[in-house]
Structures are given as C-alpha cells and as structure tokens.
Amino acid sequence: MLIQNNFPKDFMDLAQNIVTKKANIFRFVCSTGDKLVATNMDETLVQCGNYKEGFYSPKESAVLQKLYIEDEFKNAYEEKGKEPFESCIVDQKDVFFYEVNNSVRNKIKIAELYTSKDPKREYMQGVFFDKEGKIVATDGRTMYITDGIPEFPECQIKVTKTLLKILDIADYVEMGIKYKNIKNYETNQEVRTAKNIVFNFKIGTSEFTYSNQLIEGKFPRWKTAIPEKQDFHVTPFDKKIWKDIYSASKKLQPKNDKNLCFTIEDSNHVTITNISNNINYATIEWNIEPDINKRNVFAFNADYLNILLTKSGELIDIGYTDFLRAFTFTYKNGSIAVVMPSQIKEY
C-alpha cells in the first residue's frame, strides 16, 4: 500500500533544515519508492518505507505536499537515473557504530557553542573527537574539553541544526565513521581516509539515518592551550545575579564593545562595569584575590561569559594566575573550559 500524503512528520521536521533554498532540485525531498531522501549534497537524511515516487516540499505544517516540478528538473533527474539523490546515501557496510548516550549528546551540544562561526576558519567550525576519547571545540579564544566515547576514531564533525535537533529528540542514537580509499598521487597508493560521520537513530519506532561530511584539515594543538596549573581558585558568583547583569548588558552596551570589566574593590566585593559607556552594572559579593602581579582588574566578553556560566554545566571552580592570560572553568562532570580574558587598559 502506497502512502500518498501522510508522510512522516518527524522526517519532514528534520528535512526542513537540510533542503536548500536555491533554485535547484535539492529544494525538494525525493521519494524513491522505498525511501525518503533529503539532501543538500553535504548532509543527507534517509527514512525507509513505502512511499509514492516523486518530489515533495517540506512545509511549515511538517506535512509533505506534492509540488509541481519544472520539466527541466524532472527530466534531468530521470536522465541521471535518480543518481543525484541515491549517490548521497552512505553505504553502511564496514561502518562500526558506537552508542551515543544522553551524557555524550549533551556534551556535543555544549561543545557546539564553542565552535568558530567564522567561515574562514573551517578547521575550527566543528567538534573534534580526540583519539584518547576527548571531545574538544574551540574558536581560538575559548575552548571546551570533556570526556567523550572511548576508542572512537579521531575526526571533526559538523554539528548542524539538523544534528542538534536529532540529539534533542531521538530516543536512541548511534554513530560511526565511513571510510573511503583515496588515491595518493605522490605515492600512487590508496589511503584509507575518514569521509563521513553517520548517525542511525530512532524516534519512537521509526528508524532514520543522517550523514554529513567530516571537516578535513588539522585541528589545532589543543593540549598546549591548557594551563599546567593555576595559582588561584575561586568559587563562581551567584548565577541569578549574572542573569540580570547579562540582560542589562545586552540592552545597554554598544555592539562593538561586549566586554564586562571586573574590578576587585576589597576581599569580598567586585564591581562589574562597561568602560565604553561608563556603566556600572552592579557591585557583587565575591571573594576573589588579585592576580600574581597584583592586578585587580580583568574583563571578559559578555557572550562568552554567559556560555561559561549558564550553558556549559554546573560550574564549581574558576582558576587563574594572571588576569592577562587564560582562565580555566571547571564543571562538576569533569569538563573544563579554557578562556582568554579580554585585553583592556586598567583604569
């Protein structure tokens, strides 16, 4: 029995983040008869089933509605024997899968917050899985390190909107690496190279596959950025106070200066200000000492600090030695973040 218009809502909710807005065939979801495929050539979503062949468009209602397809798209598709869509489906032969439990899912979502959003820095745009089982992400000024999946192959994955949603809603997730033999023209030999990350997942009883191309290139030497020791350690200040300060800074601070300046007044009080607008946000109770050079002023980008304080887990310790060098933020689950303070002139 062919399903006509009752296409799976979960598939279409995810497909909306994959299909391209460009005027080409990949604006549509393709039903090959035995599977639904949404792809933009980089990332691909597949669900097996029994569906009427054709092209469909994901709507905001999350229900597939058959669209009229211009003749040139339809003819091009038929001439290529469905190759544009079927060639994007990753063959899972020889892929070894590892279960992604809820703890690792959450860590991947946190790590995505630390990735670079600069298109010129692709080598920092993904979440890195170290061969020693660590999950690492950095944008060059902040870095997040946590325990991941032991023995998972080293790679760097793109954490797309689609993947974030999968990690949120799936009842079961497993992932693995697809390798391909690539010819090295210098040695004239084939080299086994990691090319795709593949996720099999379930929502209820429905089964899906999501794949994406891995980020190529060398991930930064992240271990060298972690301070060997910090001379001072303090407990974080009240997050409730921070919520009000951050909200006010979003409204009042100039767009070109997101820095919040922390001035130690005495052993128990710190004043938080913005220098550019000469705004005094609050004087809070916080027992923090001057640094090793007796500096009593340091600053952080407010957006970075918000991620560190509210979105990375339960913060238990802040370590520092020099207010001009990296701070370490340690969380209850063993994760750490390394963050460079903003460079400002003391006043």
9 versus 171: the higher-pLDDT residue is 171
Residue 188 has pLDDT above 60, yes or no: yes
Contacts of 187 (CB under 8 A, 6+ apart): none
Mean pLDDT on 88-113: 96
227 half-sphere exposure, CB direction, 13 A CA radius: 21
**Separation of alpha carbons 159 and 111, rounded Å:** 9
343 versus 102: the higher-pLDDT residue is 102
Report if residue 347 sits inside a domain.
no
Residue 69 has pLDDT above 50, yes or no: no
Confidence of residue 343 (pLDDT cuts 50, 70, 90): confident
In the chain, alpha helices (H): 9-15, 71-79, 83-86, 102-112, 161-169, 239-252, 302-310
Mean pLDDT on 90-115: 96
The DSSP output letter for 112 is H
Looking at the structure, tell me whether residues 205 and 258 fall in a common domain.
Answer: no
Helix (H, G, I), strand (E, B) or coil at 146: strand
Nearest to 106 by CA among 305, 333, 303: 333
Report if residue 3 sits inside a domain.
no
Q: Which of 86, 119, 149 is the last residue of a domain?
A: 86
Domain that holds residue 26: 9-86
Looking at the structure, tell me whether residues 115 and 213 fall in a common domain.
Answer: yes
Residue 79 has pLDDT above 60, yes or no: no
Nearest to 138 by CA among 166, 111, 160: 111
Confidence of residue 92 (pLDDT cuts 50, 70, 90): very high
Percentage with pLDDT > 90 across the chain: 64
30 versus 281: the higher-pLDDT residue is 281
Q: Using one digit for the tens of pLDDT, what is the confidence trace for 231-241?
A: 999 999 988 89
Q: Using one digit for the tens of pLDDT, what is the confidence trace for 138-177?
A: 999 999 999 999 999 999 999 999 999 999 999 999 999 9
Report if residue 140 sits inside a domain.
yes
Residue 214 has pLDDT above 50, yes or no: yes
Q: Using one digit for the tens of pLDDT, what is the confidence trace for 238-261?
A: 888 999 999 988 888 767 778 999
Looking at the structure, tell me whether residues 154 and 210 fall in a common domain.
Answer: yes
209 half-sphere exposure, CB direction, 13 A CA radius: 22
250 versus 102: the higher-pLDDT residue is 102
pLDDT at residue number 59 = 59
Helix (H, G, I), strand (E, B) or coil at 320: strand
Number of domains, the chain: 3
Q: Which of 198, 220, 242 is the last residue of a domain?
A: 220
3-state secondary structure 179-205: EEEEEECCCCEEEEEEEEEEEEEEECC
Confidence of residue 181 (pLDDT cuts 50, 70, 90): confident
Confidence of residue 203 (pLDDT cuts 50, 70, 90): very high
Q: At 203, which CATH number?
A: 3.10.150.10
Report if residue 158 sits inside a domain.
yes
pLDDT at residue number 304 = 95
Report if residue 115 sits inside a domain.
yes
Residue 134 has pLDDT above 80, yes or no: yes
Helix (H, G, I), strand (E, B) or coil at 238: coil
Task: Confirm whether pTM is higher than 0.85.
Answer: yes
Residue 326 has pLDDT above 70, yes or no: yes
Report if residue 227 sits inside a domain.
no
Q: Which of 32, 52, 86 is the last residue of a domain?
A: 86
**Separation of alpha carbons 211 and 187, rounded Å:** 30
Q: At 240, list the tokens.
A: 């409730």
Nearest to 101 by CA among 133, 149, 166: 149
Confidence of residue 297 (pLDDT cuts 50, 70, 90): very high
